[in-house]
Chain A
Amino acid sequence: MSAKPNTETPEEHDVAASLREYAKKGINEGIDNKTRLDYYREMVRIRRFEERSLRAYQQGNIGGFLHLYIGQEAVAVGCVSVMKEDDHIITAYRDHGHGLAVGMSMNECMAELYGKHTGCSKGKGGSMHYFAPDKNYWGGHGIVGGQTPLGAGIAFALKYKKLKGACLCFMGDGATNQGPWYESLNLASLWDLPVVFIIENNGYSMGTALGRHSIGTPLARRAEGYDIDWSTCYGHDVYEVRHNVGAALERAHESSRPTVLEIMTYRYRGHSVADADDTYRTKQDIQDYKNTKDPINLFHDHLIEEGIADADTLKQINAEAKEEAEQSAKFAEQSPFPPESDIQADVYWETDNPDERTSEGTLFFN
Chain B
Amino acid sequence: MALITYRDAVNQALAEELARDPNVFVMGEEVGQYKGAYKVTRGLLEKFGPDRVIDAPISEAGFCGLGVGASMLGLRPVVEFMFWSFCYVAFDQVINNAANIRYMSGGLINIPIVFRGPANGGTNVGATHSHTPENFVANTPGLKVVCPATPHDAKGLMKAAIRDNDPVFVMENTLLYGNEGEVPEDDYVIPLGKAEVKREGTDISLIAHGRCAILCLEAAEALASEHGINAEVVDLRSIRPLDEEAILESVKKTNRAVLVEENKPFCGVAAQICSIIQEKAFDYLDAPIKRVSSIDAPQIYSMPLEKLQIPSVERITEAVLEIA
Q: Give me the interface of A with B, judged by CB distance under 8 Å.
A: 88, 90, 119-125, 129, 131-134, 138-143, 146, 148-158, 160-161, 179-180, 183-184, 186-187, 190, 345-350, 352-353, 358-365
Contact at A152–B243, with CB atoms within 8 Å? no
Task: Give residues 75-115 of B contacting A (CB, 8 Å).
Answer: 75, 92-93, 96-97, 101-110, 112
- Report whether A180 and B104 are in contact in the complex, using a CB–CB cutoff of 8 Å: no
Are A346 and B192 in touch, CB under 8 angstroms?
no
| Per-position 1/0 for B44-73, Cβ under 8 A of A | 000000010000110101111111111111
Whether the Cβ atoms of A153 and B107 lie closer than 8 Å is no
Given A152-B62, A152-B69, A360-B243, A348 contacting B166 (CB threshold 8 A)? yes
| Nearest CB on A from B78, distance (A) | 14
Residue from A153, A353, A362, A364 having most chain B Cβ neighbours under 10 A: A153
- Judge whether A156 and B193 touch: CB under 8 Å: no
17 intermolecular pairs with C-beta atoms under 8 Å apart:
A121-B108, A133-B72, A133-B108, A139-B101, A139-B105, A150-B72, A158-B73, A160-B70, A183-B59, A183-B62, A186-B57, A186-B62, A353-B165, A358-B192, A361-B245, A363-B241, A365-B242
Closest to B54 in A: A191
- Verify A346–B106 contact, CB threshold 8 A: yes
Are B166 and A361 in contact (CB-based, < 8 A)? no
Given A149-B66, A184-B66, A187-B63, decide whether A139 and B104 contact each other with a Cβ distance below 8 A: yes
Which of A120, A148, A345, A346 has the most chain B CB atoms closer than 10 A to its own CB? A346
Residue in B51, B61, B244 whose CB lies within 8 Å of A160: B51
**Separation in Å of the B121 CB from the closest CB of chain A?**
26
B144 within 8 A of A: yes
Say yes or no: is B163 at the interface (Cβ < 8 Å to chain A).
Answer: yes
Q: A140 vs B105: C-alpha distance in the bound complex, in angstroms?
A: 9
Instruction: Report A-chain residues with C-beta under 8 Å of the C-beta of B64.
Output: 149
Residues of chain A within 8 A of B276, CB atoms compared: 365
Distance in Å: Cβ of A290 to nearest Cβ of chain B = 33
**Which B residues between 193 and 236 are near A, CB-CB below 8 angstroms?**
193-195
13 more A-B contacts (CB under 8 A) besides A360-B192, A364-B141?
A: A120-B106, A125-B105, A155-B69, A157-B69, A157-B70, A157-B75, A180-B92, A184-B65, A187-B59, A187-B66, A361-B195, A363-B144, A365-B272
In the bound complex, residues from chain A placing their C-beta under 8 Å from that of B102 are 346-349
The reply on B25 being an interface residue by CB < 8 A is yes
Say yes or no: A125-B106 contact (C-beta < 8 A), given A187-B63, A359-B144, A360-B192.
yes
Contact among A138, A158, A361 for B193, CB-based, below 8 A: A361
How long is the Cα–Cα vector from A161 to B22 in the complex, in angstroms? 10
Contact (Cβ within 8 A) B103 A360: no
B109 touching A180, Cβ below 8 Å: no
Chain B residues with Cβ below 8 Å from A122 are 106-107
Which residue of the partner chain B has the closest CB to A117?
A: B106
* In contact, B166 and A358 (Cβ under 8 angstroms): no
Residue of B nearest to A363 (CB): B241
State the CA gap A61–B191 with chains docked (Å): 45
Cβ of A149 and Cβ of B62 under 8 Å apart? yes
CA distance A119 to B93 in the complex (A): 25
Measured in the bound complex, the distance between the Cα atoms of B106 and A88 in whole Å is 19
Query: Which 8 A/B pairs are nearest by Cβ-Cβ distance?
Result: A153-B69, A149-B65, A183-B62, A361-B193, A346-B107, A150-B69, A361-B241, A122-B106
The reply on B181 being an interface residue by CB < 8 A is: no
Q: How many residues of B contact A (CB 8 A)?
A: 58
CA distance A83 to B240 in the complex (A): 41
Query: Is B238 interfacial (CB 8 A cutoff)?
Result: yes
Query: B180: CB under 8 A from chain A?
Result: no
Residues on A with C-beta less than 8 A from B96 are 142-143, 146
| Chain B min CB distance to A141 (Å) | 8
Distance in Å: Cβ of B191 to nearest Cβ of chain A = 5
A153 and B70 in contact, given A359-B191, A365-B272 (Cβ under 8 angstroms): yes
Query: Is the C-beta of B36 less than 8 angstroms from some C-beta in chain A?
Result: no
Q: Quick one: which of A90, A131, A358, A365 contacts B108, CB cutoff 8 A?
A: A131
- Tell me how far the C-beta of A341 lies from the nearest C-beta in chain B, rounded to whole angstroms: 14
B43 smallest CB distance to A (angstroms): 22
Report how far A25 CA is from B196 CA in the complex, Å.
69
Question: Which residue of chain A has the shortest Cβ distance to B244 in the bound complex?
Answer: A362
Which residues of chain B from 131 to 155 have a CB within 8 Å of any chain A CB? 141-142, 144
Closest chain A residue, CB of each to CB of B107: A346
Q: Within the complex, which residue of B65, B105, B110, B272 is in contact with A148, where a contact is CB–CB below 8 Å?
A: B65
Instruction: Give every chain A residue within 8 A of B165 (Cβ-Cβ).
Output: 349-350, 353
Contact assessment for A156 and B66 in the assembled complex, using a CB-CB cutoff below 8 Å: yes
The answer on a CB contact under 8 Å between A361 and B238 is yes
| Bound-complex Cα distance A346 to B108 (A) | 8
Interchain CB contact under 8 A, B106 and A131: yes
Closest to B138 in A: A365
B17 in contact (CB, < 8 A): no
Q: Are B75 and A359 touching (Cβ within 8 A)? A: no
B164 proximity list for chain A (CB < 8 A): 350, 358-359
Task: Say yes or no: A154-B73 contact (C-beta < 8 A), given A180-B61, A180-B62, A361-B193.
Answer: yes
Q: By the criterion CB–CB under 8 Å, are B101 and A146 in contact?
A: no
B227-265 at interface with A (beta carbon < 8 Å): 238, 240-245
Determine if A150 and B65 form an interchain contact, defined as CB atoms under 8 angstroms apart: yes
* Interface core residue of B62, B245, B272 (most chain A CB under 10 Å): B62
B75 touches A160 (CB 8 A): yes
In the complex, the answer to whether B93 meets A363 with C-beta atoms within 8 Å is no
Shortest distance between the CB of A131 and any CB in chain B (Å): 4
B126 contacts chain A at the CB level, 8 A cutoff: no
Expressed in whole angstroms, the Cα–Cα distance for A358 and B107 within the complex equals 18
Note all chain B residues with C-beta closer than 8 A to A138: 69, 72, 109
Which residues on A sit within 8 Å (CB–CB) of B110?
349
Alpha-carbon distance between A155 and B144 when the two chains are bound, in angstroms? 26
Report the minimal beta-carbon distance from B210 to chain A, rounded to whole angstroms.
Answer: 17
Alpha-carbon gap, A325 to B240, bound state (A) = 44
Asked whether, in the complex, the Cβ of A361 is within 8 Å of the Cβ of B194, the reply is yes
